[in-house]
Amino acid sequence: MTAKDAFGAHARDELGFSGHGSAQPIQAALTSAVTFAAGAAIPLLVAAISPAQGLSMIVSVSSLVFFAVLGAVGARIGGAPALKPAIRVTFWGAIAMGLTAAIGALTGQVL
């Protein structure tokens, strides 16, 4: 088994690596771009249909809800339980939104 390709035989038989599980960077990049654009479109749609009064709060809350939903959907598609990923995505999304708002307030760029 090792006379022809010792490294390949070791990777396949001892470590369980095969060509079927290799990385596909182009597919990953395209999938990431499409999902990012789709995820960004949802808050934009909410902003477009919401009244001007309270717009920041409406977009912020709806974005957190969408974070939770998309985190759960992504977990289920990946075969994982939905709760922990939904909480994790929502938590870090809230942190990112809070930091963005804080930087905007510090620089005077808050709407």
- Three-class SS state of 97: helix
Residues 54 and 103 in one domain: yes
Residues 108 and 55 in one domain: yes
Using the predicted structure, report yes or no on whether residue 88 has a pLDDT greater than 90.
Answer: yes
pLDDT at 66: 92
Domain count, the chain: 2
Stated as kind and residue range, the H or E segment containing 27 is: helix 25-49
Domain of residue 19: give its range: 1-49
Mean pLDDT of the chain: 85
C-beta separation of 90 from 71 below 8 A: yes
Residue 104 DSSP one-character state: H
pLDDT digits (tens, 9 = 90+) for 33-49: 988 898 889 999 999 99
Residues 59 and 109 in one domain: yes
Residue 54 DSSP one-character state: T
Instruction: Using the structure block, give the residue that is written with the tokens 């960077």.
Output: 25
C-beta separation of 44 from 58 below 8 A: no
Residues 95 and 109 in one domain: yes
